[in-house]
Every structure is written in C-alpha cells, then in structure tokens.
C-alpha cells in the first residue's frame, strides 16, 4: 500500500514536470521569452508581482508587474499573457505628469531617439501635436517594438514601450 502511494506521488511529480513547456519565442524584455508561463516569467524576473486588470487589443491579459526604468525614469514592466504564454511586455512610464504636455512629448521624443539609436530608423512613426500623440514602431529581428505617447485632453498622459513577437 505504501509503495503504491509513493509510486503515485512520484508519477504526479513527473507529470507536473512534463506540464512545464519551454518558452517558444524570442526574449521580449528582461529575460522573459515569448510563450513563457507566468511561473517562468516570475522566475526570470524575481521582483515581479501579480497584476491584473489590463487587456491588450489581442485579448492578452496582464498577469505580472515589476519595477523598471524607461530612459532613466521610473516605470513599470507589465507582462501580458494570452492563453498560458507570455505574449507581450509593456514598459509604462511613471514620470509623465498631467498638464505637462510639452515636457511629456519631449520625453517621448527622447525615447524614440534612444530606440532609433538601438534599432535603426522606425518602420513607422507618426506625431500628431494637435492631439499630443506620438506612435513609432520598429522591427528588431524577431521582436516588434512600439513607443506610444498619448495625452488626449491633457489630463491622463501615457508613455509606454511595447515589446511583442514579430508577426
């Protein structure tokens, strides 16, 4: 009886180990690979904490968040999962301030310049000053990088960099 219970426990452990699937894609940010499970991302980013409530347009949902830096300013790295695998990482600046549109837009332009120095000219870049909006995108090998700044109405600015696998 005891031998059967031990064999069953070992079989359970083997099954648990087999269920962990290796990440399937490129590293998006901070050592976290596309397709990684939430546990694998938490292991790669030990300071990550559970986070939810954000959803991307493709249905990916936030699962973890960790402190980060964006061009030397405080930010949050938010890890998004679709199904059980990592699908995107968004770095959100905490340094943008409501009512400081010109300064925030200048910070966004600095981040675009930094990204351009790292990835080359953007594949697409559009600035709409009348809307206080800037959107640029790069293809960095197997990763798509997008910088976005939006401050519609001046009350809720958002500056972020999104990393996703390239299509």
The band of 154, judged by pLDDT with boundaries at 50, 70 and 90, is low
> Which helix (H) or strand (E) covers residue 69, if one does?
strand 61-70
DSSP 89-120: EEEEES---TT-HHHHHHHHHHHHHHHHHHH-
pLDDT, one tens digit per residue, over 89-125 is 999 999 998 888 888 889 999 999 999 999 999 999 9
Q: Kindly state the tokens that stand for 86.
A: 């990592």
pLDDT, one tens digit per residue, over 131-146 is 778 999 999 999 999 9
Q: Which residue's structure tokens are 């080359």?
A: 120
Buried b (16+ CB within 10 A) or exposed e, 12-35: eeeeeeeeeeebebbbbbbebbbb
Overall pTM > 0.85: no
């Amino acid at each position: 009886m005891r031998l059967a219970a031990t064999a069953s426990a070992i079989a359970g452990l083997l099954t648990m180990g087999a269920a962990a699937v290796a990440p399937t894609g490129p590293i998006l940010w901070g050592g976290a690979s596309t397709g990684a499970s939430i546990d694998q991302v938490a292991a790669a980013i030990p300071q990550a904490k559970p986070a939810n409530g954000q959803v991307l347009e493709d249905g990916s949902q936030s699962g973890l968040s960790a402190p980060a830096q964006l061009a030397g300013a405080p930010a949050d790295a938010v890890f998004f999962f679709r199904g059980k695998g990592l699908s995107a990482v968004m770095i959100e600046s905490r340094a943008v301030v409501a009512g400081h549109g010109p300064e925030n837009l200048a910070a966004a332009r600095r981040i675009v310049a930094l990204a351009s120095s790292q990835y080359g000219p953007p594949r697409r870049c559009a600035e709409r000053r009348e809307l206080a909006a800037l959107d640029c995108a790069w293809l960095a090998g197997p990763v798509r990088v997008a910088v976005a700044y939006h401050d519609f109405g001046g009350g809720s600015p958002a500056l972020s960099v999104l990393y996703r696998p390239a299509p």
